[in-house]
Amino acid sequence: MAAGRSEPSDYSAIPAGRKAAADWLDTPVEHVREVRSLLLVKFALLDRAGADPSALLKRQEAVLEPIAPAIASERPRRKGFAATLLAWWQAMR
């Protein structure tokens, strides 16, 4: 620590930052490839905050529903973890 500087303390977001974070957590991901990263992070953060993720899950389902038939047709061609991930996504619907 440099001379004259205090020790760091707890940090918190300003109201605009809290709103931006809440909006991000409330917004479904746009692409299937983001389900295994961003969406899972959102669910983890919502869980940590004690929030109910069901509204986000319903909105996410609405975003992915139009492409569900195309995803289902991919299943026979998928192998290994890709098949596992596809099965997980289909089970989440």
Tokens standing for 89?
């996504």
Predicted local confidence at residue 22, as pLDDT: 96
In a domain, 12, yes or no: no
pLDDT tens digit string along 11-39?
899 999 999 999 999 999 998 888 889 99
pLDDT tens digit string along 51-93?
999 999 999 999 999 988 887 776 677 788 887 877 777 777 6
In a domain, 13, yes or no: no
In a domain, 15, yes or no: no
Tokens standing for 29?
């991901």
In a domain, 9, yes or no: no
In a domain, 34, yes or no: yes
Number of compact structural domains in the chain: 1
Residue corresponding to tokens 């038939």? 69
Question: What's the Cα-to-Cα distance from 36 to each of 15, 56, 93, rounded to whole Å?
Answer: 29, 15, 14
Could you list the residue range(s) of the whole structural domain that residue 51 is in? Answer: 30-92
